[in-house]
Amino acid sequence: MIETRTATIADDGALARLDERTWGPDTSPAPAPAPGTPFFGEGTQPEDVLVAEHDGVVAGYVRLDEGFGIPAHRHVLVVGGLAVDPDRRRLGIGRHLVDAAIAEARRRGARKLTLRVLGHNAGARRLYASCGFAVEGVLQDEFLLGGEYVDDLLLACVLA
């Protein structure tokens, strides 16, 4: 059974370990978090993270961020991160998290939910498309990862 809830500070260790296990050049152009790096900090607060539990164990998360942080952009929220435990993939957890993020964005009054995904991350792209996200922009050859140039795609789901 999959249940989604708002994160608490007590989730910090489990979410940090999840980030360590899932971060890589297939999912992010940023370097992997150093072991022991706290999950919560100045850029991420518990109230901005939805946690998925599978059979009572933290199995994934999705983080919602403000866009530009200016009044003209308050109607847009951004998926700032999504991760699913590699040992619990293909159980519907990712879909559950994206659906929960859409519902939470609507609850917060957002008219649009956006995210960025690496062009070569076909699995994530299929998931987002199945949840109603469409490509709004492509930054070609935006990142150099493992000696290969990779596109960065901007996807959006219109909520209103």
pLDDT in tens, 129-152: 999 999 999 999 999 999 999 999
Domain that holds residue 89: 2-158
In the prediction, which pLDDT does 24 show? 87
- Written as six digits, the tokens of 13 are 């260790």
Overall domain count for the chain = 1
Mean pLDDT to the nearest integer, 39-67: 95
Instruction: Judge if pTM exceeds 0.85.
Output: yes
Q: Considering only CA atoms, which of 129, 27, 160, 34 is closest in space to residue 84?
A: 27
In the prediction, which pLDDT does 156 show? 98
Residue 95 maps to which CATH number? 3.40.630.30
Q: Considering only CA atoms, which of 152, 160, 100 is closest in space to residue 124?
A: 152
CB crowding 29-58: b at 16 or more within 10 Å, else e = eeeeeeeeeebbeeebebebbbbbbbeeeb
- Written as six digits, the tokens of 26 are 């297939």
11-43 residue pLDDT tens: 999 999 999 999 988 889 998 888 889 999 988
